[in-house]
Structure 1
Amino acid sequence: TLGLFKILREGGGASGGRQLAHPVDLATRMDSFTAILVCSPTDVANMVNKAPAVLELEPPFVLNQMITLKSLLPGTDIARMLELRPSMLLEQELGGILQPQLALLRTYLPGVAIEELVQEYPYILFEEIESGLKGFKELWPDDI
């Protein structure tokens, strides 16, 4: 984690040359995220390494994102989803993006554990999937 602080502070690595706050401020922010996201400091550091802008989010915004995710996907390990795709925290209208995608998945894949699917493959919530799902439905009719 300290190495990540140094990289972010110096403006190198995944941060795109942006200088972020003092290491003490970064540590405080990461501690807040650890509590909000219910994950380890290492998990938060890995998320920040993948999506540095996450560290610039205010804790209340992150908490609202968690509430949105938990309300839409109550049985899902949200920390796992964020480990795989932390940039979803950056979405301003997260619920508006996820609701229609989840509805499509549930419509075209009845009987599939959608929560488990998106937990391990969260990127499908941010892709155009309807045409592929329609094709899948044509190949596998309901009676099979």
Structure 2
Amino acid sequence: MPTKHDDPETLSRFTGSLVRRAQQRHVAVWLSVVSAEITSVQYAALEILQMTPGVNQRQLGDELDVDRSTIADLVARMVRNNLIERSDDPVDKRSYVLFLTPAGKKQLATLRPRVEELERILTARLTPAECLELRRLLLALLPLGE
């Protein structure tokens, strides 16, 4: 008897449906394994600021692939939660540069092993080569230049 995943008439034949379902699984595992307070986008921002302290708000938004209003809200929330600090950009006074706070660095150190566990859970049924191929294929779905 075919399963719902074997039936060509099911939604599993549509890439968008599979991507949506994979994202739903990612969110569910994130909430149970990583954090209910810090989102995956906030975590990515912490990682970027760890690697490139002093990046400006626009550059962070570009790295995260979010629009100006979204990055402004994200940064404001992270500043309120004492994860990052912003100061005037010495080069462009209309812009802010961003840095991790000591609490942000501690949060990043706490979350990093949990994110690694999330990766292990999500890719448990894949070989290392399949994991690389999955990432390559997902990147291929994104517009050029991202």
- The answer, yes or no, to whether TM exceeds 0.5 is no
Where is the strand percentage greater, Structure 1 or Structure 2?
Answer: 2
Higher Cα Rg, which structure: 2
- TM-score, normalised with respect to structure 1: 0.28
Where is the helix percentage greater, Structure 1 or Structure 2?
Answer: 1
- TM-score, normalised with respect to structure 2: 0.28
